[in-house]
Structure 1
């Protein structure tokens, strides 16, 4: 049985990621003596980093895992209504297959590899 989740990027997630990555100091030119950023400078740096993240291509898992794709579709609709977002897509966690449709086998465990793949509903079935 597959599980489904929504992947993409929203402004809130980009801002949270920027807050984690932007440092509170900057190099001063002297070894071992960094300059502390003021709150206004740090906030500006966070906003710039968040804009850079939103302009990029990286996506993250935005939702918890769902049992059915229609619940993921509902989550996507809500995410679109709440704010700025990009590249929203539903992915299913299932066996990874090669070009011929054969499962990719993990050399160490000898079991099929499991990972996230884009979910495309069949015409006339499921969410669309």
Structure 2
């Protein structure tokens, strides 16, 4: 099954809805690449990624490697808000730390409105 996702552009933001589960690191890298390509194609730099229906199954090392991959491949101007299922918040927070330590603007939330507010705030 893997990760299934849809994208749509709303103003200056790419809205992503993901579901299923991450089978392996390559699955996550393909998902990230698809989102990056959609941003480049549509000319947006903000991403609101609703992963509340996505089950995180990667182990710690692969989560670390996924964070490295994203921070290496995402444009430096990108700003990404991820909404995760609260059951996976610990994994998501670890991923956030890996990415933020590599200077990508990304935050993880469990509430979509808080995520939207952060994403639209020019001071964050």
TM-score normalized by the length of structure 2: 0.29
Higher share of residues assigned strand: 2
**Which structure has more RCO (C-alpha within 8 Å, separation ≥ 6)?**
1
TM-score normalized by the length of structure 1: 0.28
